[in-house]
Every structure is written in structure tokens, then in C-alpha cells.
Chain A
Amino acid sequence: EAGVAQSPRYKIIEKRQSVAFWCNPISGHATLYWYQQILGQGPKLLIQFQNNGVVDDSQLPKDRFSAERLKGVDSTLKIQPAKLEDSAVYLCASSSLSGPGETEAFFGQGTRLTVV
């Protein structure tokens, strides 16, 4: 079974530029999560999708971050414009049901973003 795929693995941009990350979850997984992991901290949930609908985006900085999952499969996370404090690893995860208590959340390898 293929895992959660993310691209790119690494990205360096200047502040005020825009960037986009892509995630392909495990086939058949209805729930998709985007987490931000700043160095020295645990992952923080940015947004959670159930199929193509948003379940939770309460911690997503909506003035600069956006995410979509149009067909309920792949997802993109965009930052525009980027700030220095956005430097982090962005992790995508998927699970087969509405919560990891019923199953397991599988994580991709992440995209490491550096904003200079």
C-alpha cells in the first residue's frame, strides 16, 4: 500500500513570495490533515478535510494560508505572502474514518519550508 505522498520535499523562498505544497493521501482515505511543525515544537493542525469539505480550520491563518481538496482526493496548501515565521515542516496526513481514534493517521514525509 502506497503511503501519503508530499511534494516538494524542500523549498526555499524569500519572504513575501508565494508557495504551494501538494499532498496525495492513501487511496480511499476520506480524511486529510495538514499540520505545521515548527522546529522544536510538536505538529499543529492547520486544517482538516473530510472528503472535500473542511472539518476544522480554526488554526489556519486565513489571511495568508489557503487549502483546497476539490475532488476529495489530492490537496494543496498555499501560503501567500510568506513570512519568516512560516519556516517549518508541513506535514500531510490521512485516515480512513473521521477520527484517528477509530483508525490510524498516516503521515507523509513532509515539506521543509525555509523562508529567507
Chain B
Amino acid sequence: AQSVTQLGSHVSVSEGALVLLRCNYSSSVPPYLFWYVQYPNQGLQLLLKYTTGATLVKGINGFEAEFKKSETSFHLTKPSAHMSDAAEYFCAAWGYSTLTFGKGTMLLVSP
């Protein structure tokens, strides 16, 4: 069975500061990895995904994530936070025919 761990249920940053949301996965087989964003009362929107190839993946809204097999990590970053980035972010892993989500990290952005 695979699992996804997101460190920190809440992360607070100031507008313009670096955003770093952490995700680690546990799987005997390197999975496909995803980051989704969820705005209040909305469904999940795909930010970016890693399947094969380049380990640094760029997504929408200036986000990117790096797959590090040795660390079993897939952390999400953005150089400069914007107020509109405030939302909940979910890391997910696809493996064994199932898409497994982490518990989510709420990103709070202050002016």
C-alpha cells in the first residue's frame, strides 16, 4: 500500500515570500505524483504532475515541484506568493490503480 504525507496542515507566508509545501510518499514502486489545489467550495484543480522524464516539473500559476527519488519527496514551491494563492493544496500519488491523497496543507497568505 502507498501513502502520502504532507508536513504541516497550515503554512503561513507573506505576500512576495517563498512558498514551500512539503510532500513525501511511501511506495515500493516510484509512483506518478501530483499536486492539486482546492479553493473554497470548489473541486480539485491540477497544478502539476510528474510521470516520467525531467524531475523538475513546472505547473500553472508559477508553481513547480521536484521529484527526488532518494528522499521520496515531491515538494511544491513558488518563488513569490500572491494573495490569490491562498487555498488548500493536496499532494497525491498514483500507484496500484489508485490515486492516494495526502491530508492537505492550507496555505495562508498575508499582505
Best-surrounded residue of B4, B31, B41, B43 (most CB of chain A within 10 A): B43
Closest to B95 in A: A101
- The interface size of chain B toward A, counting residues with CB under 8 Å, comes to 26
B43 and A110 contact, CB distance less than 8 A:
yes
A48 and B97 contact, CB distance less than 8 A:
yes
Known: A99-B97, A100-B34, A101-B94. A91 touches B103 (CB 8 A): no
Closest to A41 in B: B103
A109 and B41 contact, CB distance less than 8 A:
yes
List chain B positions with a Cβ less than 8 A from chain A. Answer: 4, 6, 9, 31-32, 34, 36, 41-46, 49, 51, 90, 92, 94, 97-104
A99 and B90 contact, CB distance less than 8 A:
no
CA distance A110 to B42 in the complex (A): 7
B44 and A91 contact, CB distance less than 8 A:
yes
Taking a contact as CB atoms closer than 8 A, the residue among B9, B46, B98, B104 that contacts A104 in the complex is B46
A105 at the interface (CB under 8 A from B): yes
A45 and B98 contact, CB distance less than 8 A:
yes
Closest to B6 in A: A42
Known: A100-B99, A101-B51, A101-B94. A107 touches B44 (CB 8 A): yes
Known: A41-B104, A100-B34. A33 touches B43 (CB 8 A): no
